[in-house]
Amino acid sequence: MDVEHFARKELSEGADENTIIENLSAHILKFKSCSDEYARNFARAVITEAKNSSGLKGDLFEYYRSGVGMGEFGVGSRGEGDFFAHRQLPKIIGNSGAEVGVDEMDDAGVVTAGGKYIISTVDGMHSRLSDFPFLAGFHVTRATLRDVYVMGAKPVAMISDIHVADDGDVSKIFDYTAGISVVSEMMNIPLVSGSTLRIGGDMVLGDRMTGCVGAVGVSDHLTARSSTVPGDVLLMTEGAGGGTIATAAIYSGFPEVVEKTINLSFLKACEALLKSDVLSEIHSMTDVTNGGLRGDVYEMAETARCRIVIEESNLRDLVDPTVLKMLDALDIDYLGVSLDALLVVAPPEAADEIISTVQATGVKMRRIGYATEGPSDSKIILNGEMKDFVPEFRESAYTPLKKAVDKIPGDRDDMKKRVEKAADEAVEKKMRVISKLKERY
């Protein structure tokens, strides 16, 4: 519970201060083993801080409010709303001069240094794995390493960040780090630094945990999404999912499926490709995560400015049978959820060698589609008929709660305008602050 938000909301609605203290104290006592006096003093301090920090004016204290909520717009839910929000970020960041910047919508960025490509990325842990720190650490580490590997790079170091709310057990940071370290040691990629903090300091009650893992890699050959060209074929490995599938399994009553997600197949397949001569033939790679295959090929088509066609007849066999059985039982669209499979785009003449290299590691791979001339869109061939293949507003609802809240917003166009306006306002603020700093320096 965010006690600061509670206090601000009550104050803004004109609630009596003594009433706020009573109500807030009751909430504090539900979370903490403390005296009534302690809870009241805690509540008074929260209200004092909320009052002192309210009403401040100027660029450093205010931000333009779009009136659109994160959940309402599907930010973080890997669908149309999330992609739209992320496409606002390049205008705020501006021209960074990177070899691969945020405007290309790859999961990792690239700069050059010392004649090498330097790849960096960061991935946040799955929010619903807060009560399962080891799984959170393991899967976020795999995720961030995937983002480096798919750029054609060898990861060389990792960093970690973990935030646990005030009432969380200290052991969470150790279990989370153990999950990271399993992947680190198995792949011989050192975890070199990090940070540990509380979520919201004293202001957030409960034991919620969140965190991320970042990675840095080096490469001589890039395999960014923008390198996809008409005539290429798409090859995909089998996938058993990661944090998303583990979450679906845990919260839907299929805990036995979690074991299937504990593997290094993707990373081992990438290692084999990086060591092979065929790497130079590969145009682009990505991991099937962002809203499933629907989301990834949609983004790839937009970035590469070509049409991508998927052949569904070859896909179902590439999902781990145990995972697929669960998805079917729960009526979860396997094409709209993260499978953690490797997607490789290359000229047709390189396909056999790529498949052979990957399958030598024990990982199944096959051709699933192709890139062609046409508008920047994605299609799928189902039962011989070509249909649109686009992400939904959110990724497939994969837990009971997600199914309960999964609804399409009423006026998406209006929300998009308000979100875009908020991004424009952020750009203007950025320029105002830069202007002031330039006057000073």
Confidence category of residue 249, pLDDT binned at 50, 70, 90: very high
**62-89 pLDDT tens trace:** 999 999 999 888 888 878 888 899 889 9
Number of Cβ within 10 Å of residue 340's Cβ equals 25
CA–CA distance from 121 to each of 124, 365, 383 (Å)? 10, 26, 38
Q: What is the Cα–Cα distance from 181 to 186, expressed in whole angstroms?
A: 8
Q: How many CA atoms lie within 13 A of 91 on its CB side?
A: 16
pLDDT of residue 208: 96
Averaged pLDDT of the chain: 93
Q: What is the Cα–Cα distance from 23 to 349, expressed in whole angstroms?
A: 69
**30-69 pLDDT tens trace:** 999 999 999 999 999 999 999 999 999 999 999 999 999 9
Q: What is the Cα–Cα distance from 354 to 223, expressed in whole angstroms?
A: 14
Evaluate if residue 409 carries a pLDDT over 80. Answer: no
Q: Tell me the sheet residues that pair with 212.
A: 124, 161
| DSSP SS3 for 44 | helix
Mean pLDDT, residues 334-351: 95
Domains and CATH numbers, the chain: 3-52 (no CATH), 100-222 (3.30.1330.10), 224-401 (3.90.650.10)
- Residue among 236, 137, 230, 130 nearest 182 (CA): 137
| DSSP SS3 for 333 | coil
**345-392 pLDDT tens trace:** 999 999 999 999 999 999 999 999 999 998 999 999 998 899 999 887
Contacts of 61 (CB under 8 A, 6+ apart): none
Q: How many CA atoms lie within 13 A of 207 on its CB side?
A: 15
pLDDT of residue 266: 95
Calculate what percentage of the chain has a pLDDT beyond 70. Answer: 100
Q: Which two tokens stand for residue 120?
A: 């960096």
